[in-house]
Chain A
Amino acid sequence: MSGSWLRTLHRDLGFLAFGLTVVYAVSGVAVNHIGTWDPNFVREERTAELGPQTGQPSAVVAVAMERLGLSPATWSVDVVDDTRIDIKFKDGQASVNPKTGRAVARTDRARPVLRSMNWLHLNRGKGGWTWIADGYAVILGILAISGLCIAPVRRQLAGRGGVFLAIGIALPVGWVLLFGP
């Protein structure tokens, strides 16, 4: 099995798979290390001591946001009771206790590119993306097989190519045998 059609198929599928390969590769590394960093968000926590506040909730919130160094375009205020006012804004939440004057805030700013890649990689969107991801998997399979069947590559299987091929197969198989379920 050889011929220019096979090389053309291999090359064109390679072009087609480029974008998705970058997405899955980058996201794969990012998500693999979730134990040591957050691949989706950058978190920041702030606290401020305002002193006891006696004004209206809106005024207390204004003071708290200023002291917390937060200036979102809009926010919503939820007066839970006389010891707690919750504030929600894009990328974060804050809360202030008017009686003690303690204000805390937490923001989770998304890493826009990585978060989108992870969203795609983990198929969080479902729907049509499932089919695209399945198609990508099929393309990878065709790339792997067609790559071995292209004439110049096929000739190398008896030498160096065969060694690398064996290593590539032995790695997952060996890992499962040693550490697998």
Chain B
Amino acid sequence: MDSRDNTPDLDRLSRLAIDKAASRAARERVETRRRFIAGLGAGAVLTALGGATYVVSGCSESVEPPASASTPRSDGRPRIPPGQTLIERLRPMGKAEGGSEWVDASSWRLRVHGAVKKPLDLSLKDLRALPQVDQICDVHCVTTWSVLDAAFSGVRLSYLADLAGVEARAAHVIFESDAGYTANILLEEALAPDVLVAHAHDGLPLSPANGAPLRSIVPALYFWKSTKFLTGIRFQAVDEPGYWETRGYHNHADPWKEERYS
């Protein structure tokens, strides 16, 4: 996949955000998606012309996401996993464990460490200087709600992994968050092209309730794996179940297999 990117396309994403706010009805949401898909085409043209925007369609690598909620994904699975109900936008249930209401983004650091050759210690500015991706993807929460076409901007985790030089022995990734929260995923899933370290949602910086200033985005798994207030990405050889995984939640969290609880 091409990744000639830099800053997120604020205007386009903000238009999406405003459009979504203005159109509450499901039919209008479909129209919004179609407008955005038209934007994807524009993004592709820009990329072809050496422009600044690259857009990936999120949960699958197809250029266009399914046109409607009932259209299957490119991998053949239904777009909405079993047991999920659609809602219009992310509804965070307040701050995450230990998350700060008002974070000082200028002093925030993201460590990429563990089984890597060159550990990274990045500021938000450093992260923004890396190739950026504007991504549309679906979000599935273990509490049975799903949001389609959520827009996030950030850096691919696979790019950070390449920068850090992940050692061959690494098989798992542990997301580390403010106040000790962690979540674990398999390395091969962490390196999927739609896994991001995101700093913006719907064209604006992440809100505190959504994990500002950084959160991971792992569309293929239930959303608790998409760690808010991200401070570290640790690669390691052995698995290490995280906060929820040690409290009865499933270690893997595949929405299509309803891996909610262990």
Which label, helix, strand, loop or mixed, suits the secondary structure of the B interface?
Answer: loop
Over the window 26-59 of chain B, the binary record of Cβ atoms lying under 8 Å from chain A Cβ atoms (1 yes, 0 no) is 0000000000000000000000000000000000
> Is the CB–CB distance between B145 and A34 below 8 Å?
yes
Alpha-carbon distance A95/B7, docked complex (angstroms): 13
Contact residues of B between 1 and 37, Cβ < 8 Å to A:
6-8, 10-11, 14, 17-18, 21
Alpha-carbon distance A78/B206, docked complex (angstroms): 13
Given contacts A78-B205, A93-B205, 18 further A-B contacts (CB under 8 A): A31-B93, A35-B86, A39-B91, A41-B91, A83-B7, A83-B10, A84-B7, A88-B205, A92-B207, A93-B206, A94-B204, A95-B14, A102-B14, A104-B14, A106-B202, A122-B94, A124-B96, A124-B97
- The residues of A that contact B105 with a CB separation of less than 8 Å are 76, 78, 88
Q: Does residue B262 face the partner (Cβ distance < 8 Å to A)?
A: no
Q: Does residue A134 face the partner (Cβ distance < 8 Å to B)?
A: no
Q: Among A31, A88, A108, find the residue whose CB has the most chain B CB atoms closer than 10 A.
A: A88
Selected A-B contacts with CB under 8 Å, 9 pairs: A34-B91, A39-B91, A45-B18, A76-B104, A86-B205, A95-B14, A104-B18, A106-B17, A118-B93
Q: Does residue A12 face the partner (Cβ distance < 8 Å to B)?
A: no
Alpha-carbon distance A76/B104, docked complex (angstroms): 9
- The residues of B that contact A106 with a CB separation of less than 8 Å are 17, 202, 204, 207
Number of chain B residues close to chain A: CB under 8 A: 36
Nearest-Cβ distance from residue A67 to partner chain B, whole angstroms: 15
Interfacial residues, chain A to chain B (CB-CB below 8 A): 31, 34-35, 38-41, 43, 45, 47, 76, 78, 80-81, 83-84, 86, 88, 90, 92-95, 97, 100, 102, 104-106, 108, 115, 118-119, 122, 124, 126
Q: Among B21, B145, B206, find the residue whose CB has the most chain A CB atoms closer than 10 A.
A: B21
Alpha-carbon distance A84/B206, docked complex (angstroms): 15
> Is the CB–CB distance between A104 and B93 below 8 Å?
no
Q: Does residue B92 face the partner (Cβ distance < 8 Å to A)?
A: yes
Which residue of chain B has its CB nearest to the CB of A124? B94
